[in-house]
Structure 1
Amino acid sequence: MNTPIICDYGSAFSKVGFAGTDQPRSIFPTILGKFRYDYPKVGLDKEDCFIGREAQDKRSQLSLQSPISRGVIVNWDDMEKLWHYAFYTQLHVAPEKHPLMLTESPTISMEDKEKVSQILFETFNVPALNLSNQGVLSLFASGYTSGTIIESGEGMTYFVPIIEGCPLHLSTLKTDVAGQDLTLYLLKLLSKGRNVLVGTVDQECIRQMKEKCCYVALNFEKEKGNLDPCTKKFQLPDGEEITLGQERFFCPEALFQADLIEKNSLGIHMWAYKAISSCCPSLWKVLFSHILLSGGTGSCNGLQQRLQREMSELVSPTLVVKGFSIFKDVASSTEPILMQPDEVCCEKYLTGHIYSNIG
């Protein structure tokens, strides 16, 4: 059987590649773009749909949307186009010749699992399919089999306690405070600062600004009282520059104080504490001592140190809290690729033959 394909689709980015390799073969934005009704098409490409970076590059002409919103597939037709693009345009493979490992949301519904399986088996004719919990793969990629994964991406943040490779579903929690909320909050902060250049910047540019300039303050109140905040300049595509001051740490503070973005939610330290505390007390030691941050938002500078400090204040002195950040850069994240699925999960593949018999 040919080398398995591994696909990891998120609300912001998709990563695809082959099992056993060190890097994804391709990373591209999880977006599709269609021409706006009012945009003249004379002299432009005749394609009615653009995907990934091509859609991003043409965003001034297109209406962009992602088939995944808040960790849930919301447009199955577009998702099918995205799979087709990944197989044929990015990987240049025939999907019917390769087993497929697909990462799934830690809280995916059974209905969505069935729909994913149906499309991949019946439309793309994959010979075997493995739907794997993203949190488990992230943990394996870090070299652990037990611990707590905080998977914070563009649309959702998940808290997944895992013991010996098995996610504890009843203790898995989620919040919709995530990357896209921080991007909008940064835009709001810059607008409040009467930065005249903000009106000329699109949301993608603000997202890049957030990732390159923002950091989590170890002590928010102390940082806020600093009369001489550390500023950083960000160059816009047109060459103009925006200077960020307190916005740099106010933006990601919303992960700990959701009321800043007008959301009624716990801070991520409280969510993590709640998820672990709901597990059997005999598991607390390993779950608190191996807390791993993953995902694009989870890689924010300073988040690991702040999370460890906040959670250490919540637990008994006999428990040690240790936080780790798995990957620093979403553009080079290899968490699903570092897995060796043939060795670890081969028994979890559902073959097309079995699917046809139970389908």
Structure 2
Amino acid sequence: MGCSASVDVKKPENVKFQPETNKLETEKIIHDVKDLEVIYKQDSEKINQVKSFAVPEHENVNVDITNTAEQTNKINQDNGSNLPNLNNKHKDKQEKAPRGNLVKDENIDTLQPQGEEQIALDKALRELRQSLFTSGIVPTHDQTDFTLHSTIVGNSTITIDAGCFKAAVVDAGTGFCKAGLTGDDIPSVVIPTLVGRLRDNATSVETFIGKDAKLRGNSLKYSNPINRGIVENWDDMERVYDHILHMDLNLEPNEYGVVIPESPLSDRKRREKLTEMMFEKFDVKKLYLGSSPSLALHAFGHSTGLLVSLGHGVCHAVPVVQGNIIEHAVRTTKIGNKDVIDKLQRIMTTKLSSIDEDIARAMVEKTNYVCKDYDETKRDEKLCEQKSYTLPNGKSVNLRNERYECPEIFFKPQMIPGCTESSLSDICLSSLHSIEDQQSISALRQNIILTGGSSLLPGIGERLRMELNKNENANDRANVLLLPKRQYAEWRGASTLVSMNSSKHRWVSRELYDEHGETIIHRKYV
């Protein structure tokens, strides 16, 4: 994930900084090195050099740790420095160094400044380090899982060995699991939350997970370990986590921390069960459980807002004020994208003999939308344009009313036979009306943030805004926000938040778990 940052460093006295030859950028500071601490060594020992950045002659210092040895040599040569050049052997070793690994080369020499110059540069480095820590760009050393070293080369260059913070983020939902490493902008793995077993072999213990299960089609009998946001089969859930960590992410959990966003429906018992599984079954190095709504808000830079999550099996309206969830005002309705897909499948059986769930999901994503006024759109067919969808077999099917009728269940759940659940707008209003503080209500109404896959449906934000404003005065209008990459909001929030210095105390380490057991998670959960 790219990030540009500048920190102000006061120019030390009595030091001759070399002229700036190239403005150094920080385009990749978070992508290449997520967590960074600079430790200045005052002795002249040889160091492990991977990357370097220069301190130019101006107060706003732009740091770039992606410079290669070749760039560093060019700077030194342009400035007439007496620094030794790196030969091709050393350059090749640097260029081939994998991200997150340390490269040791005892043949690299460095020069140490002496006397007043050394003291002044030491002071400048301390100020730079403090500025980076204060700005939140990098964490302090006790939060990281690697060791860094640095020194001053000549008059201007700080040389760094950088490793990567090791943590996996796994967001398990009713329909899909999203996984990847901290620091990434979006998950690298998205698989169905699905376990398959051989249909014709009742004695077989072999299971297939996610996409592997889907590929085997009707030869398997499927089960979903999570139903409407709640884990119901922990044995299968363990299989899903095992597949993601070992197969999809190719990790050894005992070398990594694991971050898991938790559903608002999760309770103390389920958190303890998950904590026990992670340490006893997977032997994780450390664990971080966080509330999905808080993490989602963090992904968008908000601390206050009504987080409306539209998931595969359930929708939540969660009010968060200054980072704190107002527990008594959390509202849930057990409708979701799964119901939209099921309804489309039922409707399409009149046009097709049968329709696969995955095809129906693709149809919803490509053709469905939420209309502004359902009754008016139903009366006037001209308001809904017919759209054609091409099936995998090459045949085409036309959709018109189906395009808006299926997503309408978010606002009219009674369209589902036997359903008594509340609508999306009802849970939002109920949540807001249960809060007494008027100032908090006003702040929440101005920041109604939609997340989840179904939030990508065209028109859903505008329709929710209209429903919420029907009976409200002009001074209390709702503002619905549709922000980028909202389908990954919980995952992205977890990916960035846990890398910050402010969240380090929320981790449960192996030592803490061994001392206190699974109940320690309640002291850390937020």
- TM-score (norm: length of structure 1): 0.92
Give 1:233 deviation, angstroms.
Answer: 1.4
What runs of 5+ residues in structure 1 fail to find an aligned partner?
A: 40-45
Deviation at 1:3, TM superposition (A): 2.0
2:246 is the counterpart of 1:88: yes
Q: Is this contact kept in 2: 1:11–1:68, CA < 8 A?
A: yes
**Are 1:244 and 2:399 an aligned pair?**
yes
Once the two structures are TM-superposed, the CA of residue 326 in structure 1 deviates from its matched residue by 3.3
Please give the secondary structure, in 1, of the residue aligned with 2:467.
Answer: helix
Matched, 1:220 2:374: yes
Query: Which residue does 2:498 correspond to in 1?
Result: 341
How far is 1:36 from its partner? 0.8
Instruction: Check if 1:254 corresponds to 2:409.
Output: yes
Establish whether residue 144 from structure 1 lines up as the match of residue 307 from structure 2.
no
**Counterpart Cα distance in 1 of 2:490 and 2:444:** 23
Q: Which moved more, 1:110-119 or 1:346-355?
A: 346-355
Report Cα offsets for 1:230-278 as digits up to 9, x if no partner: 1111222222222111110011111101111131122211110111111
CA distance in 2, matches of 1:333, 1:213: 26
Alignment of 1:217-296 (within 5 A): 217-228=371-382, 229-262=384-417, 263-280=419-436, 281-296=438-453
Where relative contact order (Cα < 8 A, 6+ residues apart) is larger, the structure is 1
Q: More deviation in 329-338 or 8-17?
A: 329-338
Q: Aligned letter for 1:318?
A: N
Report the Cα offset of residue 63 of structure 1: 1.4
Query: What secondary structure does 2:410 align onto?
Result: coil
Cα distance in 1 for residues equivalent to 2:471 and 2:359: 37
Cα distance in 2 for partners of 1:332, 1:208 equals: 21
Query: What secondary structure does 2:260 align onto?
Result: strand
| 1:325 pairs with one of 482, 491, 494 | 482
Question: Is 2:370 the counterpart of 1:207?
Answer: no
Q: What is the CA-CA distance between 1:324 and the residue it aligns to? A: 1.3
Pairwise mapping of residues 70-85 of structure 1 onto structure 2 (< 5 A)? 70-85=228-243
CA 1:242–1:327: 2 relative to 1, 3 Å: farther
How many Å separate the matches in 1 of 2:311 and 2:235? 23
Distance 1:174 1:74, change over 3 A: same
1:96-144 Cα shifts (integer Å, max 9, x gaps):
1111110110120111111000000111111221111111111111121
Q: State the match for 1:128 in structure 2.
A: 286
Task: Tell me whether 1:175 sits opposite 2:329 in the alignment.
Answer: no
Where in structure 2 are the equivalents of 1:31-46 lying within 5 Å? Answer: 31-37=194-200
Are the equivalent residues in 1 in contact too, given 2:260–2:290 (CA < 8 A)? yes
Q: CA deviation at 1:21?
A: 1.6
Question: Secondary structure in 2 aligned to 1:60?
Answer: helix
Match of 1:12 in 2: 175
CA contact (8 A) 2:166 2:256 kept: yes
Structure number, greater radius of gyration: 2
Q: How far apart are residue 214 of structure 1 and its match?
A: 0.6
Q: In 2, are the aligned partners of 1:8 and 1:336 still within 8 Å (CA)?
A: no
The verdict on how the C-alpha distance between 1:123 and 1:333 changes in structure 2, with shifts beyond 3 A counting, is: closer
Give, in whole Å, the separation in 2 of the partners of 1:346 and 1:221: 52
Is the CA contact 2:296–2:489 (under 8 Å) kept in the aligned structure 1?
A: no
Structure 2 CA distance for aligned equivalents of residues 107 and 205 of structure 1:
30
SS of 1:20's partner is coil
CA distance in 2, matches of 1:93, 1:213: 38
Deviates more, 1:227-236 or 1:325-334: 325-334
- Aligned residue type for 1:163: V
Contact 1:27 1:331 in 2 (8 A): no
1:197-222 CA-partner distances (Å, limit 9, x unpaired): 1x231122112211221100011122
2:51 maps to what in 1? none
How far is the alpha carbon of 1:337 from its aligned partner?
5.5
Where 2:496 maps in the other structure, the secondary structure is: coil
Structure 1 Cα separation of the partners of residues 188 and 400 of structure 2: 37
* Partner-residue secondary structure (3-state), 2:381: coil
**Contact in 2 for aligned 1:68/1:75 (Cα 8 Å):** yes
Matches within 5 A, 1:185-204: 185-191=343-349, 194-195=350-351, 197=352, 199-204=353-358
Cα drift, residue 17 of structure 1: 1.0
